[in-house]
């Protein structure tokens, strides 16, 4: 993992804490959460205030989630909103924290100028006794205050001021006025400088959790589904279609029925050929390193020579992706590829919509040889698999990501998955039922594709 850290692919973009004042503020908050303090004089924190160095020091890499309860967070600065979230057990946590900081930035800026802000993200589920309890996660609530309770004290003064303004005898209530003056000594002028946090509740439709071996909960689809990475955790649940990641045909059919995926080759705005060619490279690197075939510096020419030496051991995904690549570059008939083909999940991406990021995460788990997509969409799985790879593959992947992805993260994401959706709700347009996630060739022709109509591309998901 040292190679990833050195190249900024792990623990990157963290906030550096190296001042005596910040360390003291952090220790005050840490004492409240864990009852312990750090002896470190310099460390780094993520968006939630979690520090891998302190986790190592305390021998507790989950110290901001004591006893497996709700996730706690410590804010020293609003600049934490740009940092990643480490040890994320719920995929939406970073988005929720970032939205909370953004919506309350001016208030949090004032609060963190004098104290650390300590908070909790409450999923309103007391205990997870089994996967069925995940369906109860529909809303996350954030409660936050400084270690000196500035928000609570300000709320109390605001309530006293309201009594003074509305009660008929407030002007003559010496006890009330004295109480207001005393409270103002603690909080300052909350009329001119109000201290009140907005937007502390967030609705959650779709999420992935690391609990129970990894579970995808997707409620925004027309047919809600729960997909389990661990077959042993699989259960039937009313209101959900439940599947495991081993049931690839069922997942493909569900994606098609709900129009959640589309072929890269016909996705609007996608430059399919370079994407498919790179996916082939990744699969060849994986196969070559497993077979002990030298790939040199990993150039495309060297990978093609390595592929020629594989013979019958050439990965089966290559045939389908190569056929699709030829179609993208030369046209002709659509290759017939269905969900039984190993290339299937490498050749599709999520369609725009509320579940897009989660579907792309699911596709990366179903096609883990595409290490770039795996790194972008599913870092917990990427880091876990990275430790199992051979040294040559680790070196190739780290060098590629540092060279090709780190220099233009947003541009790469846009090229692979399409541009980020706007703030407006996506328009729902009438559409004929697609033949698999690919739609029909005739429908694509009506959108301007200059290719002859053929039988439905890629066949039907069985």
Residue 300 and residue 398 share a domain? yes
Residue 422 and residue 273 share a domain? yes
Confidence of residue 179 (pLDDT cuts 50, 70, 90): low
Please indicate, yes or no, if residue 190 is contained in any of the structural domains: no
Of 22 and 443, more confident: 22
Least confident of 35-39, 226-230, 299-303, 425-429: 425-429
What mean pLDDT is predicted for residues 124-142?
86
Residue 441 and residue 306 share a domain? yes
Confidence of residue 97 (pLDDT cuts 50, 70, 90): very high
Domains held by the chain: number: 2
Q: What is the pLDDT of residue 65?
A: 86
- Could you give the CA distance from residue 435 to residue 176 in angstroms, rounded to a whole number? 72
Q: What is the pLDDT of residue 407?
A: 79
Confidence of residue 152 (pLDDT cuts 50, 70, 90): low
Average pLDDT of every residue of the chain: 83
Please indicate, yes or no, if residue 185 is contained in any of the structural domains: no
What Cα–Cα distance (Å) separates residue 239 from each residue in 204, 236, 260?
17, 9, 19
Of 159 and 164, more confident: 159
Strand 225-228 relative to strand 241-244, pairing: parallel
Residue 306 and residue 200 share a domain? no
- Could you give the CA distance from residue 375 to residue 152 in angstroms, rounded to a whole number? 41
Please indicate, yes or no, if residue 172 is contained in any of the structural domains: no
- Could you give the CA distance from residue 372 to residue 362 in angstroms, rounded to a whole number? 14
pLDDT for 20 beyond 80:
yes
Residue 399 and residue 283 share a domain? yes
Residue 440 and residue 297 share a domain? yes
- Could you give the CA distance from residue 303 to residue 284 in angstroms, rounded to a whole number? 7
For residue 69, give the DSSP letter.
Answer: -
pLDDT for 259 beyond 90:
yes
Q: What is the pLDDT of residue 43?
A: 96
Please indicate, yes or no, if residue 47 is contained in any of the structural domains: yes
Residue 284 and residue 200 share a domain? no
What mean pLDDT is predicted for residues 4-24?
91
Percentage of the chain with pLDDT > 70?
Answer: 80
Domain that holds residue 100: 11-149+195-204
Residue 299 and residue 200 share a domain? no
Please indicate, yes or no, if residue 352 is contained in any of the structural domains: yes
pLDDT for 423 beyond 60:
no
pLDDT for 437 beyond 60:
no
pLDDT tens sequence across 347-361: 999 999 999 999 999
Percentage of the chain with pLDDT > 90?
Answer: 53
Residue 428 and residue 280 share a domain? yes
Residue 17 and residue 115 share a domain? yes
Least confident of 8-22, 111-125, 368-382: 111-125
Please indicate, yes or no, if residue 161 is contained in any of the structural domains: no
Please indicate, yes or no, if residue 212 is contained in any of the structural domains: no
Residue 413 and residue 276 share a domain? yes
pLDDT for 24 beyond 50:
yes
- Could you give the CA distance from residue 101 to residue 46 in angstroms, rounded to a whole number? 13
Q: What is the pLDDT of residue 12?
A: 86
Strand 225-228 relative to strand 215-218, pairing: antiparallel
Q: List the one residue out of 117, 113, 137 whose CA is nearest residue 125.
A: 137
Please indicate, yes or no, if residue 379 is contained in any of the structural domains: yes
Measured from the Cβ of residue 275, the count of other Cβ atoms closer than 10 Å reads 22
Residue 416 and residue 301 share a domain? yes
What mean pLDDT is predicted for residues 64-69?
78
Q: What is the pLDDT of residue 418?
A: 86
């Amino acid at each position: 993992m040292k190679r990833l850290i050195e190249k900024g692919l792990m623990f990157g973009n963290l906030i550096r804490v190296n001042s005596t004042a910040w360390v003291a503020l952090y220790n005050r908050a840490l004492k409240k959460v864990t009852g312990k303090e750090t002896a470190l004089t310099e460390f780094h924190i993520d968006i939630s205030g979690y520090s891998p160095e302190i986790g190592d020091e305390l021998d507790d890499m989950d110290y901001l989630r004591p006893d497996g309860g709700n996730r706690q967070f410590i804010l020293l600065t609003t600049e934490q909103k740009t940092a990643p979230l480490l040890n994320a057990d719920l995929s939406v946590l970073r988005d929720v924290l970032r939205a909370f900081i953004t919506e309350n930035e001016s208030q949090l800026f004032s609060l963190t100028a004098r104290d650390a802000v300590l908070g909790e993200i409450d999923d309103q589920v007391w205990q997870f006794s089994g996967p069925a309890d995940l369906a109860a996660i529909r809303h996350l609530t954030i409660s936050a205050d400084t270690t000196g309770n500035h928000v609570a004290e300000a709320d109390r003064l605001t309530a006293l001021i309201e009594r003074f303004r509305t009660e008929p005898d407030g002007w003559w209530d010496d006890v009330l006025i004295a109480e207001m003056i005393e409270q103002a000594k603690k909080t300052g002028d909350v009329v001119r400088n109000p201290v009140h946090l907005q937007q502390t509740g967030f609705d959650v439709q779709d999420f992935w959790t690391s609990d129970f071996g990894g579970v995808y909960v997707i409620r925004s689809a027309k047919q809600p589904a729960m997909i389990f990475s661990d077959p042993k955790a699989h259960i039937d649940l009313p209101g959900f279609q439940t599947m495991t990641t081993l049931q690839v045909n069922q997942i493909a059919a569900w994606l098609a029925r709900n129009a959640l995926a589309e072929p890269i080759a016909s996705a609007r705005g996608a430059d399919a050929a370079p994407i498919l060619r790179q996916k082939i490279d990744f699969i060849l690197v994986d196969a070559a390193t497993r077979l002990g075939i030298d790939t040199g510096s990993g150039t495309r020419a060297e990978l093609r020579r390595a592929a020629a030496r594989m013979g019958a051991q050439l990965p089966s995904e290559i045939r389908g992706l190569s056929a699709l690549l030829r179609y993208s570059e030369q046209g002709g008939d659509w290759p017939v590829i269905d969900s039984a083909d190993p290339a299937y999940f490498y050749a599709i991406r999520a369609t725009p919509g509320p579940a897009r990021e989660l579907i792309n995460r699911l596709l990366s788990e179903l096609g883990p040889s595409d290490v770039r997509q795996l790194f972008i969409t599913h870092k917990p799985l990427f880091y876990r698999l990275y430790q199992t790879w051979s040294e040559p593959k680790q070196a190739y992947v780290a060098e590629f990501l540092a060279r090709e992805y780190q220099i233009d993260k947003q541009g790469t994401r846009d090229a692979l998955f399409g541009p980020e959706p706007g703030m407006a709700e996506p328009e729902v347009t009438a559409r004929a039922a697609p033949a698999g996630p690919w739609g029909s060739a005739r429908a694509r022709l009506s959108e301007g594709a200059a290719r002859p109509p053929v039988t439905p591309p890629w066949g039907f998901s069985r």
